[in-house]
Amino acid sequence: MKNFAGSWEPENDRKYRDEKLKNVILIGFMGSGKSSVGYRLSYALKRSLCDTDSLIERREGRKISKIFEEEGEQYFRDLETATLKRMLEKKEYKRCILSLGGGTPLREENRKLLKQLGTVFYLRVTPEMVWERLKGDTTRPLLQTEDPRRTIRELLEKRDPIYMDAADIVVDCSGKEQDEIVEFIRKKTVEK
């Protein structure tokens, strides 16, 4: 088991179960940096970047906030599951960087799909980091509450064990520059 300051791999080391698909999958709370880390990783590893939220928006022809507003959260969650299933079926989702919406790992079915799709990296952040990054954000329907700071704290507390369960590798992002995070994931991916 390799170690990196603040990072670890769960005991039931699933590290390289993804020999076939070899996608690098980024999970984590809203504002954890999945999109920007994913973007930089796609350059560093010369792999395509696929963002499930963007795939859903493109397919639906409307923004996530509109989907939530017009159809409700469950409908959106079904779209997330359908997206993962499609990714497993299609050959083009091989050796990609997959950046997932923050709620995607919540369904057990989705966590099983993720294990088949590749190596799951959990970008672990604190509620304070999320608040600093997302205060004033209007694009996340789940954070449009009276007290978004509190919502972040409560949601993250509930979700953290689920993200931990879904992860092959946990990347503790506190106090780390994005360069460091990208380099850590790049190394883990090429050092197989």
| Residue 10 within binding range of ligand S3P, rule CB under 6 A | no
- Residue 152 sits in the site that holds ligand S3P (CB under 6 A): no
Q: Tell me the C-alpha to C-alpha distance, in Å, between residue 100 and each of 1, 27, 121, 154.
A: 26, 6, 11, 20
For position 64 contacting ligand S3P by CB under 6 A, the verdict is yes
Q: Which of residues 101-120 bind ligand S3P (CB under 6 A)?
A: 101-103
142 near ligand S3P, judged by CB under 6 A: yes
Give the residue among 5, 28, 40 at the shortest CA–CA distance from 125.
28
Q: Can residue 141 be called a binding residue for ligand S3P (CB under 6 A)?
A: yes
Both tokens assigned to 126: 């604190």
Whose tokens are 């159809």? That residue is 71
Residue 140 binds ligand S3P, judged by CB under 6 A? yes
As measured in angstroms, the least distance from the Cβ of 117 to ligand S3P is 17
**8 Å CB contact between 46 and 35:** no
User: CB of residue 37 vs ligand S3P: minimum separation in angstroms?
Assistant: 12
- How many alpha carbons fall within 13 Å on the CB side of residue 64? 21
| Interaction of residue 33 with ligand S3P, rule CB under 6 A | no
Report the residue from 25, 30, 125, 167 that binds ligand S3P according to the rule CB under 6 A.
30
DSSP state, residue 8: B
Give the CA dihedral 140, 45, 110, 117, nearest 10 degrees.
Answer: 160
List residues near ligand S3P by CB under 6 A. Answer: 30, 34, 53, 64, 101-103, 140-142
